Amino acid sequence: MVKKIGIGYEGYKEFIDNDMYYIDKTMLIRDVVEKGGKVTLFTRPRRFGKTLALSMLRTFFELEYDRDGNIIDKKRYFEGKKIMDASDEILSMMGKYPVIKLSLKSAKQPGFKAAFKALRDEIKSEYSRHNYILDSNKLSEEERRMFKNLSMGIDDEEFLDKEKYEFEVGRYATALKTLSECLKKYHNENVIILLDEYDVPLENAYYEGFYDEMVGFIRSLFESALKTNDALQFGVVTGCLRISKESIFTGLNHLQISSIYNNGYEEAFGFTQRETEQMLIDYGMEDRIPEAKEWYDGYLFGQTEIYNPWSIIKYVSSIAINHMKFPEAYWANTSSNQIIKDMIWHADEEMKRELDILINGGTIEKQIHEDITYDDIHESEDNLWNFLFFTGYMKKVSERREDKYIYLTMKIPNDEIASIYETQIRSWFDKQVKDTDRGVLNKAVLEGDTEGIENYVSELLAKSISTFDSDEAFYHGFFLSLLYSVPNYMPQSNREEGDGRPDIVLYPNRPKDPAIIFEIKTRKKYNEMEAGLKKAFDQIRDKKYEEGVLEDGYMGVKSYGICFCKKSCIVGKYDN
């Protein structure tokens, strides 16, 4: 019997206690100790296993007690796992240290005060988790008082008092250091600090307009906990994007960074080719291995090929229920795609040209640099592409050095990410169409001005991104949406007439007006467009579309062929 797939589970203990399917990433424990710095920052795209990894680290290192005050033996959580083959020195660290684990991902409020309160509540919760230390006499009265105050905080009414509010922000900016010192005094061991999704409050603050306030608080929190903290054994921080040292990690000279570019922990996050294939085999899906690769592979962490883990587990879970199910863009519903939307909706001509290249399977080259802030993202095109690379929307194909600069050749990683771009492009283009004055088009359609129709439609297509070349369904939907504004007519798509189904028929609301037929064709090359137009005419004649419309009782009918190629179209009047 195959094991349950742990969709939505982020706690390592849950995977073990419930015997769920787990791809063994426990050697990260050894690597953090042997290769990590005093503080190690892991930046990976959203949903690549960072939270589960921190939960695993906490499970291994944390000294925990049961309800009777006995130390919990952690070995049962790691039986049969790779870490049990590590050195005695590493294994001696199991269950040895007090651990502070804090997630910052809840701070997504529209203002700084509310976002700060969300972070404060997370810190208060961590104080409450460690309130057992108040039962001893190892803390001084002042330390006990401070601990109790920080585990409670001021109430909502006191937040209205500016002086009390500012004092509250200031004391929680150093609260992790205070907790570390208390835990060290109680356990007589240094503390391990694990901080998850550190950049979520910064991203939210950037889009909500209080970035500077949030940067100031996070900087103080990190400096006190990770820089000037004698009680720190080591720290691990995770996020999606490396935020510039100058803005957040000021003075953290002992910070070691592992990103998708500068790695060293290639297999710790995401699924390797071998792990993915084994999972598919375990669930009887060997035949879907090529499809999974096309949709969810394509990342390169260091020199290792990596699959999107969230998408793979969702894919396997869905196929296990319905083996005929098609792959989907699972990541699109979990990751923050605001940056993609912003990029496409505000793209200049150069960026549109580059998007054209990427969507059509090509590559672009950009200078790489990791030290950016959210404030910097829209300062230059290079910053935006760097952001997309480090957050998983682009992949490295190759790199080169020129003088002191490094340039990456990048492309869209896989079909899943391509579908995210395409969805946003369609949304953007639909908005462009909706906001366009269609009076000129309506006049051309009613007067049979084929050149006027061509010019209007081609001008609108010129503003687009060439995502949908030769995709007749796109052009059909696009042109149909334009025709809804033609006065006194109702457009119908693929309705039976004669011996077939014309692409679009404009049916008149008034008996004196003729029905109008449009038959649509697409071609990949400009020199094939006239042939496409002829094929449209042939279809109108052979399928007897006009005869069918007249048999419905309409007083007259006129027909047009229209052929699309990339950002151009030609229109011709059918003459029987």
Per-residue pLDDT reduced to its tens digit, 462-510: 877 665 555 678 889 889 989 999 999 999 999 999 999 999 999 999 9
More confident of the two residues 428 and 163: 163
- Indicate the DSSP class of residue 327: P
Among 576, 549, 562, which residue's Cα sits nearest to residue 521?
562
Distant-in-sequence, close-in-space partners of 556: CB < 8 Å, separation ≥ 6? 513, 514, 515, 550
Looking up tokens 């319905």 gives 322
Q: Report CA-CA distances (Å) from 531 to 326, 461, 524, 538.
A: 35, 21, 12, 10
- The alpha carbon of 352 is separated from its chain's Cα centroid by a whole number of angstroms, namely 21
Q: Report CA-CA distances (Å) from 275 to 81, 268, 301, 526, 557.
A: 15, 12, 15, 46, 62
Contact yes or no for 239/102 (Cβ under 8 A): no
Q: Is 537's pLDDT higher than 80?
A: yes
pLDDT for the residue numbered 389:
86
Same domain, 381 and 451: no
Total residue length of the chain: 576
- Indicate the DSSP class of residue 412: -
CATH of the domain at 566: 3.40.1350
Looking up tokens 């150093």 gives 174
pLDDT for the residue numbered 68:
79
Same domain, 105 and 174: yes
Q: How far apart are CA 376 and CA 241, in angstroms?
A: 13
| Lookup: tokens for 147 | 């601990």
Same domain, 93 and 49: yes
pLDDT for the residue numbered 555:
87
Residue type, 447: E
Q: Give a yes or no: residue 428 inside a domain.
A: no
Same domain, 138 and 245: yes
pLDDT for the residue numbered 105:
92
Q: Give a yes or no: residue 143 inside a domain.
A: yes
Say what the pTM is.
0.82
Give per-residue burial for 412-446: e unless 16+ CB within 10 Å, then b.
bbbbbbbbbbbbbbbebbeeebeebebeebbebbb
Q: Give a yes or no: residue 120 inside a domain.
A: yes
CATH of the domain at 133: 3.40.50
Same domain, 191 and 119: yes
Q: Determine what percent of the chain is predicted with pLDDT higher than 90.
A: 60
Kindly write down the DSSP assignment for every residue of 46-82, as one continuous string.
Answer: TTSSHHHHHHHHHHHHB--B-TTSPBPPGGGGTTTSG
Q: Is 243's pLDDT higher than 70?
A: no
Q: Give a yes or no: residue 1 inside a domain.
A: no
Domain housing 297: 271-333
Residue 550 backbone dihedrals phi, psi, to 5 degrees: -65, -35
Highest mean pLDDT among 83-92, 432-441, 566-575: 83-92
Q: How confident is the model at residue 546 (pLDDT cuts 50, 70, 90)?
A: very high
Sign of CA dihedral 525, 526, 529, 530: negative
Same domain, 444 and 365: no
Contact yes or no for 498/546 (Cβ under 8 A): yes
pLDDT for the residue numbered 430:
77
Q: Give a yes or no: residue 5 inside a domain.
A: no
Q: How far apart are CA 321 and CA 203, in angstroms?
A: 36
Q: Determine what percent of the chain is predicted with pLDDT higher than 70.
A: 93
Last residue of a domain, one of 258, 283, 303: 258
Q: How far apart are CA 361 and CA 209, in angstroms?
A: 36
Last residue of a domain, one of 390, 419, 448: 419
Same domain, 201 and 324: no
| Lookup: tokens for 120 | 């404060």
Same domain, 406 and 492: no
Q: Is 38's pLDDT higher than 90?
A: yes
Q: Is 246's pLDDT higher than 50?
A: no
Q: What is the dihedral angle through the alpha carbons of 219, 225, 227, 233, rounded to the nearest 10 degrees?
A: -150
Q: Give a yes or no: residue 6 inside a domain.
A: no
Q: Give a yes or no: residue 425 inside a domain.
A: no
Q: How confident is the model at residue 293 (pLDDT cuts 50, 70, 90)?
A: very high
Q: CA end-to-end span of the chain, whole Å?
A: 67
Looking up tokens 């940067």 gives 215
Same domain, 239 and 294: no
Looking up tokens 């603050």 gives 205
pLDDT for the residue numbered 375:
66
Same domain, 296 and 231: no
Indicate the SS3 state at residue 571: strand
Same domain, 458 and 412: no
Q: Give a yes or no: residue 92 inside a domain.
A: yes
Q: Is 174's pLDDT higher than 90?
A: yes
Among 523, 489, 525, which residue's Cα sits nearest to residue 504?
489
Q: Is 528's pLDDT higher than 80?
A: yes
pLDDT for the residue numbered 508:
95
Q: How far apart are CA 118 and CA 159, in angstroms?
A: 13
Same domain, 293 and 385: no
Q: What is the pLDDT of residues 47-100, one digit of tens each?
A: 899 999 999 999 999 999 888 788 999 999 999 999 999 999 999 999 999 999
What total of structural domains would you count in the chain? Answer: 4
Q: Is 259's pLDDT higher than 90?
A: no
Average pLDDT value for the chain: 89
Last residue of a domain, one of 283, 317, 333: 333
